[in-house]
Chain A
Amino acid sequence: MGVRKALTGNHAISYAVKLVRPEVIAAYPITPQTSIVEKLSEMVESGELDSTMIRVESEHSALAACYGAALAGARAFTATSSQGLLYMHEVVHWVSRARIPMVMAIVSRTINTPWNIWPDHSDFMDQRDAGWIMAYAMDNQEALDLTIQAFKIGEDPEVYLPVMVGIEGFILGHTTMPVEIPDEELVREWLGPRRQPYVVDGGSPIGVGGLTMPEETEDIFHGIQESMEAAKKVIERVDKEYGRLFGRSYGGLTQCYRCEDADYIAVAMGAWSGDLMEAVNTLRDQGYRVGVVRIRFYRPFPHEELWRYSGRAKGVIVFDRSISFGGWGPIFTDLVTGLAAYTDKLPALSNIVTGIAGVNITSEDFEKLVKRFVETVEKGGKPVFFEWFKKR
């Protein structure tokens, strides 16, 4: 039914966008995102993709133009990285508060200064309080699948929120893997016509984003929080539907890998989850009962799943590829808060912040760190609560 192609992660996203055919695409180039917009430009100019491409003068304008297009009833898409995402940040909030669905790909790259084009999750995590649904892929196939699903999730009337889909720059962005491209007609049929809470198209006069009294503004914030809750079920449903139609299902907000019978859970997000799974395979061979819970959606945060998988575990080790300076890794912070909602007897916990600014973390590193954690707990010791694991 689908066609298999060798694609980089960036091009996998471009192909997903082609299948969805948003009416409007606006983007500004930035390394390592650029090849997404280049590919889309090529598709639009060759007539392969019937979308309007707005070639804007900045990221702030890229998202603003997409916001305008989405308000006016169009499916809209943009992509960015790092500084570009930071430059957009004001509009990031604006789109979610207006409850306007659209999709943005984030090809992660660390934040300046100093100049550095390698990836970590600091740009993505910087958006966590903006009211967007936040998904992160593990490989190029998932990058394509998530991008398609993002339109379906965001436009669900129970959600009506914008969605961002992250991949690590270069690691996925510029690495080629075989990717199955689903049937175009089937994708469009599944997505159906664009849905949004209201449309700005010159029909009866409406006001969007005007001056509002505190109580009404609070209602808008609260509405986003409620929709985030509702989105959890929608995400699971969309994942199942997608699996039925296109043959790939990932497990909703998280993906559990050998975690059903695990005594220890390792948590991670993004491409290196694959390396972590490899490490876990090795550890399993050595008799360590370890599993991986991979975060697929960081917002809404999958605290129920994490409780389900790690509630009865002896220990949970969390790998964060970003840092909330002065605090801990953001995934860890959320995970501990989530567990505390279910129990007053927490398992042994450890947070490893590592791989910052693109520092290469291998499955051997994961193996070493997880093994040390498991052995410490097994011996009745207290594992390190927080560690910044540096390679030098």
Chain B
Amino acid sequence: MSQPRPKQPIPYNMRDAFLPGDAACSGCPIPMGWKTVHAALGGKVIYVIPACCSSVVVGTSPGHSLNATVVHVPFAAAASVASGIAEALEKRGITDVHVVAWAGDGGTADIGLATLSGAAERNNNMIYIMYDNEAYMNTGIQRSSSTPRGAWTTTTPVAGKAEQKKDVAKIMIAHNIPYVATASIAYPHDFYSKLQRAKSIKGFKFIHLHAPCPVGWRFEPQYTVKMARLAVETGLWVLYEYQNGKITLSGPSRPYMDPSKRKPIEEYIKMQGRFRNITQEILEEIRKSVELNWEWIRKFM
């Protein structure tokens, strides 16, 4: 609520993107993300979706709740199927259609990582969006490599996840692709402008979209946006763009370069049932990793 209201509304009726009858849980960040993608790219989008919550959220065949073409693909295959579609479109001279690989953290950071890396290295023309809800939510909240340290999941049920969150955006920067960005469903204008940028570039574009899941993170569904915003306000999730060897900090994250402006991490952590058993020691480690991340970002600015 402290966020200043943008001067220009997004020039699009977001209701056009998402049709009635989806199968999302209440408070699900996925439709929020899709609305922004649709606003930025219009209806001429081919979504390539591997196994993940989104493959359920679109509803049952033969209809689907996204007002765009959707291709469901095997778990590890989003980036490779999208490569094939992109190359075929190019060969057929179709240039006004965007191929969007839309995958969760499991399909991106884990089972799909080699495929993602292959497509990025080939610089195939697509926008790859990893919507990161930080666990395998579709199968019922099992840990992924993108689950943060200390979080409860059904496969880290007692002590919480022992390992750190894998930073996929950094991995993608190492691929020297034309565009890497982080985004958050709490900042649709920022996400929108990043999609606009991605749309204007030919080649492989990667956007890491932070997407809190009320069911998996154990918070009330009405707080999804608040939770996503707190991740940014505490400095835990930093919004930036990477192009040509440089990082540009995005508007919403700019104030938090200064640690004194950041909200305490506890404010974010305490609102989520998944961190109920977190120890002071792990909290300190998270604080340290936030600092290290900012330091790393500063080096590229």
Residues of A within 8 A of B (CB): 23-24, 26, 52, 54-58, 60-62, 64-74, 76, 90-91, 94, 200-203, 205-213, 216
Contacts and interface: CB of A to CB of B under 8 A. Distances in A.
Given A205-B43, A210-B70, A73 B88 contact: yes
Contact of B46 (A24, A55, A91, A200): A200
B80 A68 contact: yes
A-B pairs, 3 with minimum CB distance: A68-B84, A202-B97, A57-B118
Nearest to B62: A207
Contact of A67 (B84, B89, B114): B84
Contacts of A62: 80
A200 B61 contact: no
Contacts of A65: 80-81, 83-84, 87
Contact of A202 (B46, B82, B83, B87): B46
A332 to B, nearest CB: 33
A68 B82 contact: yes
Nearest to A51: B91
A205 B66 contact: yes
A23 B91 contact: yes
A60 B113 CA distance: 13
Interface stretch (B51-59, B225-233, B283-291): B51-59
Given A73-B88, A211-B56, A216-B61, A91 B114 contact: no
Contacts of B292: none
Contacts of A52: 87-88, 90-91
A54 B117 CA distance: 14
B71 A64 contact: no
B115 interface: yes
B67 A74 contact: no
Contacts, number: 171
A72 B84 contact: yes
A70 B70 CA distance: 15
12 contacts: A26-B84, A54-B122, A56-B122, A60-B115, A62-B80, A68-B82, A68-B83, A76-B88, A91-B74, A201-B46, A210-B55, A216-B61
Given A72-B88, A207-B58, A207-B61, A94 B73 contact: yes
A197 to B, nearest CB: 14
A209 B62 CA distance: 9
A67 B141 CA distance: 31
A54 B84 contact: yes
A202 B63 contact: no
Given A61-B79, A68-B82, A74-B87, 8 more contacts: A23-B92, A68-B84, A69-B84, A71-B71, A202-B44, A205-B43, A205-B70, A211-B60
A55 B83 CA distance: 10
A66 B90 CA distance: 14
A55 B62 CA distance: 34
A62 B64 CA distance: 28
Contacts of A24: 84, 87-88, 91
Given A52-B87, A74-B92, A201-B94, A208 B71 contact: yes
Contacts of A94: 73-74, 77
Contacts of A57: 114-115, 117-118, 121
A60 B84 contact: no
Nearest to A203: B69
Given A74-B88, A202-B97, A205-B68, A60 B76 contact: yes
Contacts of B74: 60, 64, 90-91, 94
Given A207-B62, A210-B58, A58 B69 contact: no
B91 A71 contact: no
Contacts of A69: 84-85, 87-88
A210 B91 CA distance: 27
A54 B44 contact: no
Interface string B113-142: 011011001101000000000000000000
A202 B60 contact: no
Nearest to A75: B88
Interface string B123-167: 010000000000000000000000000000000000000000000
B199 interface: no
Nearest to A91: B74
B92 A201 contact: yes
B45 interface: yes
B48 interface: yes
B254 interface: no
A74 B91 contact: yes
Contacts of A72: 46, 84-85, 88-89, 92
A70 B89 CA distance: 10
B281 interface: no
A200 B71 contact: yes
A176 to B, nearest CB: 33
Contact of B118 (A58, A203, A209, A211): A58
Given A26-B84, A72-B89, A209 B72 contact: yes
Contacts of A211: 55-56, 58-61, 72
Nearest to B55: A211
A219 B114 CA distance: 34
Contact of B69 (A66, A90, A205): A205
A283 B122 CA distance: 57
B110 to A, nearest CB: 14
Nearest to B115: A61
A31 to B, nearest CB: 21
B258 interface: no
Given A60-B80, A61-B77, A202-B44, A210 B115 contact: no
A213 B66 CA distance: 19
A154 to B, nearest CB: 16
B80 A207 contact: no
Given A54-B83, A58-B118, A207-B69, A202 B91 contact: no
